Structure 1
Amino acid sequence: MAPGRWKWRRCWGSARPSASPFTTAERMSRGEAGPAATEEPPFSRAGGVGVRAAGPGGVWILDKPAGVLSHPNTAGDRGRALLPWPYDAAGEFFRDPETGRQVWLLNRLDSATSGLIVVATEPTVAEAVRALFAGRAVSKTYLALVFGHYAGTSELWRDRMGVVRRGRGVQASAEAADLSAVTEVRRLRLVSGPPALTLLELRPRTGRTHQLRHQCARRRLPIVGDRNYGDFRLNRAFAKATGSGSRLFLHAAGLSFRYSWGGREHAIEATSPAPEAFVPYLPPGKGGRRR
């Protein structure tokens, strides 16, 4: 069965795969977000940041809206970050200034990207899950709305790319092409327009900086709202016509992995429903979140 067509039943200590007729993105677009964690995490969160799943060893999958930073870059950013605590960039953790509690950040999303992000409250688990991300052992699914019509139905994108520093930030580049970038692509819907649009499911096998945005743009399928690699004229026209503002139409919709804790293996999965801005472009009959 193709990747993404297994739905893991989350339980405390074991996981059993069950066949699903829908991929992660399809289940997400149908509003089937999976079981959210029932307890509150032992840390504060920025406004709008939800909890989608929790696992043994203090693993938490959070769901952030667009505009929230994965971590603050300066002290002034703290009010816009995932957690409102000071951040240790070297150790990649937040620290509660009152209790000293630490929460490790295990993956990152650009501030403009919405969706799933993982944290942990136990250092040994944090180290293990970070190794899974580095070793490409985490399944990730994104939704992207792009300008143009993607002619295929599914394929594997393989590119060489690099990352160069530009001022205070970084930029993906086809010139410094020393890294492999691989993504599974599946077309979910064509929108006739104008402008012509395509809703894509993207499943990155590698985790390069700005990988999905770069790979879409180099195929002349820029992600709607992308200020770095997008079509700026179309972005302005689309925002004016739809009232979407500066929204980047890239959403981290699904995430799953297996990890060890307490001498046992555990599996955790979360899906995030499509944000409201995506709803008009979902396949007919598929819903999303409305907020």
Structure 2
Amino acid sequence: MSPTGPEARPGGAPAPGAEAALAVRLIEVDDESGGQRLDNFLMRHLKGVPKTHVYRVIRSGEVRVNKGRASADTRIEAGDRIRVPPMRIAERPEPAAQAAPAREFPILFEDDHVLAIDKPAGVAVHGGSGVSFGVIEQLRRARPQARFLELVHRLDRETSGVLLVAKRRSALTRLQDQFRERETGKTYLALVPGQWPARLKVIDLPLRKFTLPGGEDGAGERRVRVTDRDDPEGMRSITLVRISPATPPDAAFSLLEVTIKTGRTHQIRVHLASQGHAIAGDDKYGDFELNRSLAKRGLKRMFLHAWRLQFDHPATGERIALEAPLPGELDALVGFNHSQSPPTGLA
């Protein structure tokens, strides 16, 4: 694919080792790039531009797809025309400390079409928004011979568990179609304080994104809240909740098996918190005093784990069912909840 607009070099010759600023460009998406997220497409074609700047110009509306505003997760299609604003390439390479180190992750399934890993908590799935690199950049560095590696879906940085990576473009589009059409089965494990009401099995409440004030660039941290059903910016969100058999009667915490029918940002976290049962260890929507008490027992992360995932294999059509075991620090807390009365501060 090639830019169809002019490329100017204002301001005279660039400094040594630097590329000049570019004029507005129009890039037409070819067949091979159809189905990608807008942010991934731009980062592959704006080498040297900091990821934080790429996300900033998307949020500001300076990037346009077919003359319209688009979000970072917009899926582009072959033939789309993308307006890219003037940007200056970084004058020097990123420091070595910022480069993505090669890393492999525990493999749950792999063949020529798809890779499923058990993502640890605390690792972003991709770089951007203040994160230099994530799982996908580390995998690409660890597998330089791989011609194609792309994330099929996302997990929050704080969430552990099953994460799918496509190894072929055809696999990516077929798997993403399944996620979009809700043909996959995604079940999470979440630990919440108190006794979850057994009758509360479906949460059907719209969610709306908003931004907290602040931040060095004026763009604060993004959050999500439950909103009114007539809110035009609210997105319908459906979460199914089942109390795990591992939850004993009268326990201080409830272990929940949570299935999402819609994939909204922070959906599980906000839906559970809206019912008065925020996820243990959640530093955005949780009980901060409780979190401090849990940290003393070794829980220094949010108790949300992508436990099970079912999907149709993109090449064979076979139904694949994967399961990632609870990490040790989460399993230990479940065992404690099952075997002992809670100490003061955990009840």
Structure 2-normalised TM-score? 0.59
CA distance in 1, matches of 2:146, 2:103: 18
Residue in 2 aligned with 1:277? 329
Q: CA deviation at 1:284?
A: 6.0
Supply the distance in 1 between the matched residues of 2:306 and 2:267 (Cα, whole angstroms): 13
- What letter corresponds to residue 82 of structure 1 in structure 2? V
Residue 236 of structure 1 is matched in structure 2 by: 292
Equivalent-residue separation in structure 2 for 1:191 and 1:158 (angstroms): 27
- Please list, as runs of the form range in 1=range in 2, the aligned pairs for 1:159-198 lying within 5 A after superposition: 159-166=205-212, 167=219, 169-175=221-227, 178-188=234-244, 189-190=247-248, 192=250, 196-198=252-254
Q: Which has the higher contact order (CA 8 A, sep 6+)?
A: 1
Contact 1:45 1:82 in 2 (8 A): no
Partner of 1:65: 120
Structure 1 unaligned runs (5+)?
A: 1-43, 87-93, 286-291
**Structure 2 counterpart of 1:265:** 317
- What does residue 289 of structure 1 align with? none
Ranges in structure 2 where 5+ consecutive residues have no aligned partner: 1-100, 213-218, 340-347
Whether contact under 8 Å (1:59, 1:118) holds in the other structure is yes
> Which residue of 2 is the match for residue 252 of structure 1?
306
| Map of 1:20 onto structure 2 | none
Deviation of 1:97 after TM superposition, in Å, equals: 9.6
> What is the aligned-residue identity percentage?
30
Quote how far apart the aligned CAs of 1:243 are: 2.1
Deviates more, 1:154-163 or 1:251-260: 154-163
Equivalent residues, number:
225
Q: Judging changes above 3 Å, is the alpha-carbon distance between structure 1 residues 95 and 163 closer, same or farther for their aligned structure 2 residues?
A: farther
Query: What's the CA shift for 1:99?
Result: 5.0
Aligned equivalents of 1:112, 1:180: Cα separation in 2: 24
The whole-number CA distance in structure 2 between the counterparts of 1:274 and 1:100 is: 29
CA contact (8 A) 1:257 1:268 kept: yes
In the TM superposition, what is the alpha-carbon distance from 1:278 to its structure 2 partner?
2.3
Question: For 1:71 and 1:191, how far apart are their aligned partners in 2?
Answer: 40
1: CA distance between counterparts of 2:153 and 2:199?
29
> After superposition, where does 1:22-37 map in structure 2 within 5 Å?
none
Change (3 A) 1:154 1:45: farther
The alignment partner of 2:265 has SS state of coil
Choose 1 or 2 for highest CA Rg.
2
Which protein has the bigger strand share? 1
1:226 alignment counterpart: 282
Higher share in helix: 2
Contact 2:311 2:319 in 1 (8 A): yes
1:205 and 1:64 mapped to 2: Cα distance?
22
- Partner AA of 2:334 in structure 1: Y
Query: What's the CA shift string for 1:12-44, capped at 9, x where partnerless?
Result: xxxxxxxxxxxxxxxxxxxxxxxxxxxxxxxx9
Alpha-carbon spacing, 1:172–1:284, altered in 2? closer, same or farther (3 Å): same
Aligned to 2:103: 46
**Is the aligned partner of 1:157 residue 2:213?**
no
DSSP-derived class of the 1:252 partner: strand
Moved over 4 A (4+): 94-100, 190-193, 282-285
- C-alpha contact 1:95 1:102 (8 A) present in aligned 2: no
Secondary structure of 2:317's match?
Answer: strand
Structure 1 residue 251: Cα displacement? 0.3
What residue identity is the alignment partner of 2:115?
W
CA distance in 2, matches of 1:85, 1:237: 34
